Structure 1
Amino acid sequence: MLEKTRPKVLFFDVNETLLDLAQMKATVSKALNGKEDLLPLWFSTMLQYALVTTATGKYEHFEHIGAAALQMVAANNGISISEKDARHTITKSFRSLPAHPDVKPALALLKDAGYTLVSFTNSSNEGVKEQLKNAGLTSYFDEILSIEAVGKFKPFPETYTWAASQMNVKPEACMLIAAHGWDVAGAIRAGWRASFVSRPGQQEFPLAPKTEIIAPSLKKTADLLLTYK
């Protein structure tokens, strides 16, 4: 069997891949009068309108889109939430998320093995820096990148091209590690390698190209990457 070569740079999605959204979902559920069944709809609405924002040539902070999605879902279920309250709820929740238990051990292994680690997120520059600081993850990363600089959300191809250029590497030297099928699909179609972390409730997109690594945890992903030469 051929030995697999190391990617030059490992790019990590942040929300859900590194950070546990359970605490945030509890807060959003409270804002929706305890209707937990609306949480998947809120999250998918947020992602949908992030794509709509980019597709129509605009940019808004991801947290603001999340707040707008919360207002929309609430309104459709007879719940009134002001823009101010929605933004406070989403911003505070996003920025205080804890890391999944497997994250720090995995990042430490990869960093010790000499990999270049970069966080790469749809969150704003200010938002992701606060997220990583509050989760105790800042020191693991060589660079912290937000799509805010390019003004388009993942999975638009321009975001991956921009991130590779920021690290001065070719697309084929990049590997995205993410728990979202849409993000993995976007990276592969932009010429990157990819690893899918199958967090609970997450699935690969069946119509996307084959993913190089599929693992149930970030720790298992790191173990596999340590075998690369």
Structure 2
Amino acid sequence: MPIPSRPQVVAFDVIETLIALEPLRARFVEAGLPGHLLETWFTRTLRDGMTLSATGDFEPFRPVAENALRAVTRFEVGDAAVAHVLDGFATLPAHPDVEPALRRLADAGVRAMLLTNGARATTLDFVERHSLTDLIERVVTVEEVRRWKPPAVVYEHAASVAGVPADRLALVAAHAWDCHGAKRAGLVTGWVSRLERDYSAIFAPPDARGDDLVEVVDALLAL
């Protein structure tokens, strides 16, 4: 296996890597739904999006997430409650290590971009709300290839957009499955442990890891 090199560009996953979903739990409760459904709902959203990709089909993030919420509530939730929960994406904060990690890359002359299953408009709004525009070169969404991560075509498209070979692009994520998909597509990978704590042994190991994004970026820069 080739020895990974310091990347020229770093692409960050967004949902749960740069932003936390925890603030949505209050919206579940406000909508009359059990707060513990947050994790079940998001897992169902990812599963359904990946299933569509596996069968050669595609739907954008919002309708998949809406239908996943209806499914986990046995289709008893109303339209207003669904909208209240999903509209919360426009208010989610960035993790405190996001700006310092991006700044570290910029100071090192390494470009940064985002690669997300999420909606383009919501992601662009996130970048603007947190004054990250000068630190993020491009937002790439799965809408551009009509496949949810982790099929290789998603990561290959990101490398093409960045204008670098796959092995000079790094993917940073809080999900081991995302790192695995990127690794199998030839990317360098970095995993932040804040969500899963331990990296799953069934997936290809990351090239860099850390407890926060700054540690991950420092490890990538040290390659």
Q: TM-score, normalised by structure 1?
A: 0.88
Residue 101 of structure 2 is matched in structure 1 by: 106
Give the Å deviation of 1:74: 1.2
Residue 54 of structure 1 is matched in structure 2 by: 53
What one-letter code is carried by the residue in structure 1 that aligns with 2:155? Answer: Y
Aligned with 2:172: secondary structure? strand
The alpha-carbon distance between structure 1 residues 199 and 146, as it changes in their structure 2 partners (threshold 3 A), is same
The alpha-carbon distance between structure 1 residues 32 and 74, as it changes in their structure 2 partners (threshold 3 A), is farther
Q: Structure 1 residue aligned with 2:135, among 133, 140, 146?
A: 140
The alpha-carbon distance between structure 1 residues 67 and 202, as it changes in their structure 2 partners (threshold 3 A), is farther
Q: Aligned pair 1:221/2:216, yes or no?
A: yes
Give the Å deviation of 1:148: 0.5
The alpha-carbon distance between structure 1 residues 32 and 174, as it changes in their structure 2 partners (threshold 3 A), is farther
Residue 24 of structure 1 is matched in structure 2 by: 24
Aligned partners of 1:190, 1:47: CA distance in 2, in Å?
20
Give the Å deviation of 1:32: 5.1
Q: Aligned pair 1:158/2:157, yes or no?
A: no
Contact kept in structure 1, 2:27 and 2:84, CA below 8 Å:
no
Residue 9 of structure 1 is matched in structure 2 by: 9
Contact kept in structure 2, 1:180 and 1:203, CA below 8 Å:
no
Unaligned runs of 5+ in 1: none
Give the Å deviation of 1:29: 4.3
What one-letter code is carried by the residue in structure 1 that aligns with 2:52? Answer: T
What one-letter code is carried by the residue in structure 1 that aligns with 2:185? Answer: A
Residue 77 of structure 2 is matched in structure 1 by: 81
Tell me the matched-pair count.
221
Query: What are the within-5 Å matches in structure 2 for residues 60-71 of structure 1?
Result: 60-71=59-70
Divergent runs of 4+, >6 A: none
Contact kept in structure 1, 2:171 and 2:190, CA below 8 Å:
yes
Aligned partners of 2:197, 2:24: CA distance in 1, in Å?
17
Q: Structure 2 residue aligned with 1:179, among 171, 174, 186?
A: 174
* CA deviation map 1:106-142 (0-9, x unaligned): 1111111100101111112222111222233222101
Give the Å deviation of 1:15: 0.9
Aligned partners of 1:55, 1:4: CA distance in 2, in Å?
29
Q: Aligned pair 1:93/2:88, yes or no?
A: yes
Contact kept in structure 1, 2:209 and 2:219, CA below 8 Å:
no
Unaligned runs of 5+ in 2: none
Contact kept in structure 2, 1:193 and 1:212, CA below 8 Å:
yes
Contact kept in structure 2, 1:181 and 1:203, CA below 8 Å:
no
Contact kept in structure 2, 1:29 and 1:39, CA below 8 Å:
no
Aligned with 1:11: secondary structure? strand
What one-letter code is carried by the residue in structure 2 that aligns with 1:119? Answer: L
